[in-house]
Amino acid sequence: MIRNGLYHITVEMLDSVHGGNQGVMVVRDGQLRGGDSFFYAYGTYTAAKGKWKGELTNQEHSPTYGERPVWERKIVTIGFTGTYTDDTAESDGIALAGKQSIRFKSMLRMLIPD
């Protein structure tokens, strides 16, 4: 099982979509909770034998004023799959922002284990 704790997350958009992000994510017993200065995310995951998958919802909590136009004023649904070790987790996923599908890569790095 992926280790419970607080992780630093970086997200890289693919397919020439401008943007990316970083923030924090709490990973605990099949639940994901996290965010940054503009957005929060929540969801669920399953993990076993070094592989994990899950889904998230991402929403704006403070206006971005054009800072992150791809996800601005949208409820974004996200699906991902990837791998994990004791201190990191990687994933590839697809985010649906309005009518736009966005592929991305993310990396989680353990900050504080539970």
pTM of the model: 0.89
Q: Any idea which residue has 């889904």 for tokens?
A: 55
Q: Torsion angle of alpha carbons 104, 110, 111, 114, nearest 10°?
A: 130
Whether the CB-CB separation of 35 and 57 falls below 8 Å is answered with no
Band of pLDDT at residue 64, cut at 50, 70 and 90: confident
Whether residue 73 has pLDDT greater than 90: no
CB atoms within 10 A of CB 27: 26
Confidence at 93, pLDDT banded by 50, 70, 90:
very high
Domains of the chain listed by start with CATH number: 5-113 (2.40.128.380)
What average pLDDT does the structure give for the chain? 90
CA 111 to chain centre: 16
